[in-house]
Amino acid sequence: CKAAPQLVDHQNINGDTALAWACMEAHIGVVRMLLSSGASVFKASHTGVSPLMCTAMVGGIDGVNSLLCGSCVVGRLCAAREP
C-alpha cells in the first residue's frame, strides 16, 4: 500500500476511509496495520469527521494511542518517550 497510498486512503460514498472504519469498530490491529501502510490520520469524511474523532467517539483509548503514536508527527515523540 505504500506504493499506492491513494488506495489506503480511498474514501467511500460518505468519505469514510478504512482507517475511520477500523477506528469506529475498535479494531486496533487493523488500525496499526493501516497506519504502518501510510493511512492518513487527518483524512476526514465529507462531514468533517477524522479517524481520530471516530476513535474518541467510541471511547477507545488504545485506538487513540495507536493513532497518535502511529502518526508521523506524534509518533516520533512517542518513540522518544519509550525506554
Residue at grid coordinates 469498530: 25
25 Cβ contact partners less than 8 Å away, ≥ 6 residues apart: none
Q: What is the pLDDT of residue 11?
A: 93
| Angle between helix 61-70 and 51-58 (nearest 10) | 160
**CA 27/CA 29 separation, integer angstroms:** 6
pTM over the 0.75 mark: no
Amino acid at 9: D
Q: What is the pLDDT of residue 62?
A: 66
Q: Are 26 and 70 in contact (CB under 8 A)?
A: no
Q: What is the pLDDT of residue 79?
A: 44
Q: What is the pLDDT of residue 22?
A: 87
The pLDDT tens digits along the chain (83 residues) read 455 667 889 999 999 999 888 888 878 788 888 888 888 888 889 998 888 787 777 766 666 666 666 554 444 444 444 44
